[in-house]
Amino acid sequence: MSTRPETRPGPPFPAVLVVIGVALISINLRPGATSVGPLLQELSAALSLGPTLAGLLTALPGFTFALAGGVAVALAKRVGLSKGITLGVAALVVTLLLRVLTDSAVVFIALTAVGLAGMGLGNVLVPAWIKAHSLDGGVRLMTVYSMGLTIGGSMGPLLAAPLAQVAPGQWRGALGVWGVVALLALVPWLVISAKDRVHRRTGSVVNGRMIHSPTAIALTALFAVQSMNAYVQFGWLPQIYRDAGLSATSAGAYTSIVAGLGILGGLLMPTVIDRGRHLSVWMVAFGVLASSGYLGLLLAPTALPWVWAALLGVSGFAFPTAIALITARSRDPRVTAQLSGFVQPVGYLLAGLGPLVVGVLRAVTGGWTVVLLLLMLSGVGITVAGLRVARPVFVDDEMAAKVA
């Protein structure tokens, strides 16, 4: 039996429209969330956000992504993949533009939650859409998608403060600009949704459940552990460096190394997976590099700070790997949708819990030793789960075998 996905008829619209649509939506699935952190102080002062509401706002992305991801497949069954994605982008545009006009903390948080839900729909449905509209099993488009996610996620925090200094309304303008950028993504998806007749309804392919697939469970574990690491790194790594004695500017620069290397991972890993060579070696490397990076932060955070950031950044290649494996380990787009809807909600739930647990442990222990020791263990989880999904096995086959 072949281990390569089957090819499919081309989509009913130009290839350039497909690439533009995937590129624009991937870039927009993160900045509306990641741009808030650097402006939290200004936002809190303007909206009278107390510590509790501010904490809720920072934890909201992971939890909302999990909730929206859990209902994404059901929505796609009713309206189709393209329309489901378009509805998510529309919600993103409207809420990102409206939330900067309010002076109410509750309204701001509520609108943010709706916008994050739109992102959550895209997180789950876009990989399935790519599977349904690709001639090569999704390799090229998943490369575009993975890179776009990383670039968009990096642009949010990188541009937040500079934009706030020059944009009308300061922090309001800096956050509102992402609503305009999302509007650019809405245009091609309105066209795609109107023209698309592929996979208009998504039914169940096999009667089995994802829980019956060892590959699906392992992929969920890989995605969850790496997502937790990513959210902890972006949320707390600058503070780890600052507590060690580095300046805020240096801490931000070293954290940007982690994000920058993620772009390279998004470009590289879909092709590595498609060729199917040495994927197990990569999985071992991801775990070893993660543990080594945290060990360096524990023992000598200021000795070679850029090295520890680089180790964590390369270990973060596990994220685009997990994203790409959602399409690579499924044949039918409907199974891809089910797999994506199974893997990502759990992953983002853990991603939301991770930074909160780290904050609690730091407050209780008064330092970073316990936190970093526990994070070192996450490298073991990455490798164990990664070795299982490195096998060229399709979730479709495992579910069908369980039913039979």
CB atoms within 10 A of CB 2: 8
Rounded to 5°, the CA angle 15-126-139 comes to: 60
User: What is the predicted pLDDT for the residue at 314?
Assistant: 96
CB atoms within 10 A of CB 402: 15
User: What is the predicted pLDDT for the residue at 11?
Assistant: 58
Report the alpha-carbon distance of residue 297 to residue 42 in Å, rounded.
Answer: 30
Report the alpha-carbon distance of residue 351 to residue 347 in Å, rounded.
Answer: 6
10 Å CB burial of residue 364 (0-12, 13-18, 19+) is exposed
User: What is the predicted pLDDT for the residue at 207?
Assistant: 47
User: What is the predicted pLDDT for the residue at 7?
Assistant: 47
Residue 170 DSSP SS3: coil
Asked if 79 and 172 count as a contact pair (C-beta separation under 8 A), the reply is no
pTM of the model: 0.82
Place of tokens 């004695």: 245
Place of tokens 């994050």: 116
User: What is the predicted pLDDT for the residue at 150?
Assistant: 86
Report the alpha-carbon distance of residue 82 to residue 59 in Å, rounded.
Answer: 29
Q: Residue 156 region, left (φ>0) first, then alpha (ψ -120 to 50), else beta?
A: alpha
The Cβ-side half-sphere exposure at 119, using a 13 Å CA radius, reads: 31
Full pLDDT tens readout for the chain, 404 residues? 444 544 455 556 688 999 999 999 999 998 998 888 778 778 888 998 877 787 778 778 888 888 888 899 889 889 999 999 999 999 999 999 999 999 999 999 999 999 999 999 999 999 999 988 887 777 889 999 988 998 888 888 778 888 888 888 899 999 999 999 999 999 999 999 988 765 444 444 454 578 889 999 999 999 999 999 988 887 788 888 989 998 877 887 888 888 889 889 988 999 899 887 789 999 999 999 999 999 999 999 999 999 999 999 999 999 999 999 999 999 888 888 889 989 988 888 877 788 888 888 988 998 999 999 999 999 999 999 999 999 989 999 888 876 55
The superfamily (CATH) of domain 12-203 is MFS general substrate transporter like domains (1.20.1250.20)
CB atoms within 10 A of CB 51: 8
Asked if 219 and 385 count as a contact pair (C-beta separation under 8 A), the reply is yes
Asked if 106 and 83 count as a contact pair (C-beta separation under 8 A), the reply is no
Name 354's Cβ contacts closer than 8 Å, sequence gap at least 6. 62, 227, 228, 229, 231, 232
Report the alpha-carbon distance of residue 108 to residue 130 in Å, rounded.
Answer: 33
- Give the H/E segment covering residue 167: none
Place of tokens 């070696």: 281
User: What is the predicted pLDDT for the residue at 199?
Assistant: 46
Residue 399 identity (one-letter amino acid): M
The Cβ-side half-sphere exposure at 158, using a 13 Å CA radius, reads: 15
Q: Which of 386, 147, 398 is nearest to 271 (CA)?
A: 147
Name 308's Cβ contacts closer than 8 Å, sequence gap at least 6. 254, 293, 294, 296, 297, 301
Taking CA atoms, 399 is separated from 4, 117, 206, 214, 352, in Å, by: 17, 29, 7, 9, 29
Q: Which of 284, 262, 270 is nearest to 324 (CA)?
A: 270
Top-level class of domain 206-404: mainly alpha
Rounded to 5°, the CA angle 65-123-13 comes to: 150
Report the alpha-carbon distance of residue 235 to residue 278 in Å, rounded.
Answer: 32
- Give the H/E segment covering residue 37: none
CB atoms within 10 A of CB 41: 12
Taking CA atoms, 138 is separated from 9, 72, 206, 225, 315, in Å, by: 13, 20, 22, 24, 23
Domain boundaries, the chain: 12-203, 206-404
